[in-house]
Amino acid sequence: MNRIKIFSDVFPYLAIPVLVYNLVAFFSGDAAPGGPPAILATIDATVVSVPMLSGVTLQLSWADMLVALAVAFLFIEVVKATSTASAGIINHMLSMLLFIICLMEFVVLESFATAPFFIITLIVLLDALAGMVVTIVSARRDFGVEGIGA
């Protein structure tokens, strides 16, 4: 049971939507030369259509669902960041590594040059930065460190 908790504290949950996007991109194939990435045909497909009271229909695509999943995992990551345990530091390093991987994929690979993956990359960056800031602020409070000029 202790190993599961350590894994849960260390594992960056935002790796899940990134991994899902990677799997879909891998199986989507290559784009036509000069054309849009092939993955767009898959992730732009409508998953849910909900009629609204206003008379319009809300349509959510796979890309929308993946971004929503990333936002949900961002919440979990920010809550985890309040821990000052050493596992949290490893989590922040892995989150920064995940951001670097996402950034490299976005810049180099054609299937990753899409708006949904750009937003997921920004969410991963926000996780890495916010996690470090929250941990530093929490640690300062735990140790009673006073600010300069206090």
Q: Quick one: pLDDT band at residue 112, thresholds 50, 70, 90?
A: very high
**Which amino acid is it at 56?**
V
Cβ-Cβ contacts under 8 Å for 6 (sequence gap 6 or more) = 87
12 alpha carbon, distance to own chain's centre: 9
Say how far apart CA 110 and CA 107 lie, in whole Å: 8
Tokens of 109: 């690979």
Q: Which domain holds residue 84?
A: 2-143
Residue 113 phi/psi, 5-degree rounding, is -90, 60
Burial class (CB in 10 A: 0-12, 13-18, 19+), 104: exposed
Q: Above 70 in pLDDT, residue 141? A: no
pLDDT in tens, 5-19: 777 788 999 999 999
Q: What is the pLDDT of residue 109?
A: 92
pLDDT in tens, 80-101: 887 767 777 888 899 999 999 9
What is the pTM (predicted TM-score) of this model?
Answer: 0.85
Q: What is the pLDDT of residue 54?
A: 95
Cβ-Cβ contacts under 8 Å for 142 (sequence gap 6 or more) = 84
**How many domains does one find in the chain?**
1
Residue 150 covered by a domain: no
Q: What is the pLDDT of residue 5?
A: 74
